[in-house]
A and B are shown apart, each in its own frame.
Chain A
């Protein structure tokens, strides 16, 4: 299949998700379950995307584990997103130098 088709589908879905509620929504969601469900979705999605995929993100499980540990520790201490992201990468790189 053409990459252009994938991109159009991907961009179209992403746009509609933002556009429909932003343009047409004027009321509040009443269902407590649905509100709660939507509240947890971003955390659950990011967690499922990250684990266990992060272990294969550098092509070497040892450097990936080192980077993951660095990210978990720094995130636990509330460091900014960008610091955590770059430190994970830096740690993976430095670990790779010793292998």
Chain B
């Protein structure tokens, strides 16, 4: 039990290091939205996700509708449902319902990736260890980012505003380079998003993301259906 927890913690260290700087960027963005260290830290502690939080604070800053918040979080974070389904297939028998209720909180892209790569069935202790370390990196980075956003000169804090977007590009570009179906979805989503921004300006930012992503994914799913391994079926 204890060794599994420690093993999870050690596997969580690289995740936490990555989270530190990304959540630092989120903290800076939160400071620009006028949020306090406490508020931003509560958001990070209760959500534990990058893209959803980044979109969420924009909605808070803009005073958007709650339905917009719900739909934006659904659209941006729906990928976690897929990851949760995938992980649910390889859980150890010690993973009872209360453990599932608790550990599901910590399903992020990176934790999913590391857990999926494990050969043996996943135990609650292992996931808790990893989630704890990742959580500490995510929340402490957020707190430092907000403080820095309030203290650092504008030349530095404004340059940090691009950190999260840089990470998003690093997630979408490598698979786009290798798979034309992913490239199609990425370019189409970007194209629709640009149209929303400059032509259909009555659509708010959150809904623009939803419309762009749903339209691009649906069309990509029709033109390039995927097999289980993610490659387009025609290829």
Q: How far is the CA of A45 from the CA of B188 in the complex (A)?
A: 11
Q: How far is the CA of A53 from the CA of B189 in the complex (A)?
A: 13
The answer on a CB contact under 8 Å between A33 and B221 is yes
Q: How far is the CA of A19 from the CA of B181 in the complex (A)?
A: 30
B-contact 0/1 string along A65-89, CB 8 Å cutoff = 0011001101110111111111111
A90 proximity list for chain B (CB < 8 A) = 159
Identify which of residues 126-167 in chain B touch chain A, using a CB-to-CB cut-off of 8 Å: 154-156, 158-167
A-side binding surface: helix, strand, loop or mixed? helix
Q: Which residues of B contact A (CB under 8 A)?
A: 17-18, 21-22, 25, 35, 39, 42-43, 46-49, 51-56, 59-60, 63, 66, 69-70, 73-82, 84-85, 87-89, 97, 100-101, 103-105, 107, 109, 154-156, 158-177, 181-182, 185-190, 192-194, 197-198, 205, 208-209, 212-214, 216-218, 220-222, 224-226, 230
B-side binding surface: helix, strand, loop or mixed? helix
Q: How far is the CB of B28 from chain A (nearest CB, A)?
A: 10
The answer on a CB contact under 8 Å between B185 and A17 is no
A17 proximity list for chain B (CB < 8 A) = 73-74, 77-78, 80-81, 84
- Could you show 12 A-B contacts with beta carbons less than 8 Å apart? A10-B69, A11-B43, A15-B104, A23-B101, A28-B85, A38-B82, A40-B221, A44-B185, A52-B194, A59-B158, A75-B174, A93-B156
